[in-house]
Amino acid sequence: MLNNQFALKKRGCLLLSLVIVIASLMSISSCNNNKDTSGPGCLILKPNRINRNWVPDYTKPKSDSSNFIFWVKFATTYDRRKDDFKVDISGVNKDSIEIPGTSINDIMKDKHCIVELGATAIGDNYLKLSELNILKTDGTLNDFDFIVLTPKRLSEEEPFLVFECEVKRSNKTLAKVITNPCPPCQYCIPPCATRQLQ
């Protein structure tokens, strides 16, 4: 009888130990899974957003260039709690003045694209609209499916946030360009030296 009770207790302890080991392994596994999916994601900019906010009022070439988008500004803020970026995109004219009414925000996030950046300096980014090659000569949009914005570091030596912009159509890349970060000063629109004179 005592042997049976001892055997039951022994089996109970082994079972409890087994449950603890399995639970520990599951928690380690879930931590690893969380680690693999942490970091900012890519952003998807669809042509309907560009059409609604920019075309043709701000993309059609005209004699008065004050409302014509020459540069695209990517204003980035970082949410530390979610470990994610929020990016607002707006148009800037040739005189380096941001054009009112051109803001595109709440850009769709690609949940399948996670980027591990490490320590990165976050500021604004700029790009010439013409570099994306998304406009026809009359200011209407070329045929494309979306633009993928992938966050990256400029380089190991210059850890500034930039976006690799890929224009996609039917899984083909039509254009791929890297934005210019601000800072450093030389990439700002207008450059920092010019800003100080104003």
147-184 pLDDT, tens per residue? 999 999 999 899 999 999 999 999 999 999 999 999 89
Percentage of the chain modeled with pLDDT above 90: 57
List all residues 6 or more positions away from 24 whose beta carbon is below 8 Å from its beta carbon: none
In the predicted model, is pLDDT for residue 130 greater than 80? Answer: yes
**Which strands sit side by side in the sheet containing 84-92, from one edge to the other?**
84-92, 71-79, 124-128, 180-182
Q: Name which of 77, 178, 173, 61 is nearest 128 in CA terms.
A: 178
pLDDT-derived band at 41, boundaries 50, 70, 90: confident
| pLDDT average, residue stretch 108-118 | 84
List all residues 6 or more positions away from 141 whose beta carbon is below 8 Å from its beta carbon: 47, 50, 51, 55, 134, 135
Strand partners for 109: 43
pLDDT-derived band at 39, boundaries 50, 70, 90: low
User: What average pLDDT does the chain have?
Assistant: 80
Element holding 28 (H helix, E strand): helix 2-36
In the predicted model, is pLDDT for residue 143 greater than 90? Answer: yes
The counts of H helices and E strands in the chain are 4, 9
Q: What is the pLDDT of residue 198?
A: 42
pTM, 2 dp: 0.76
In the predicted model, is pLDDT for residue 30 greater than 70? Answer: no
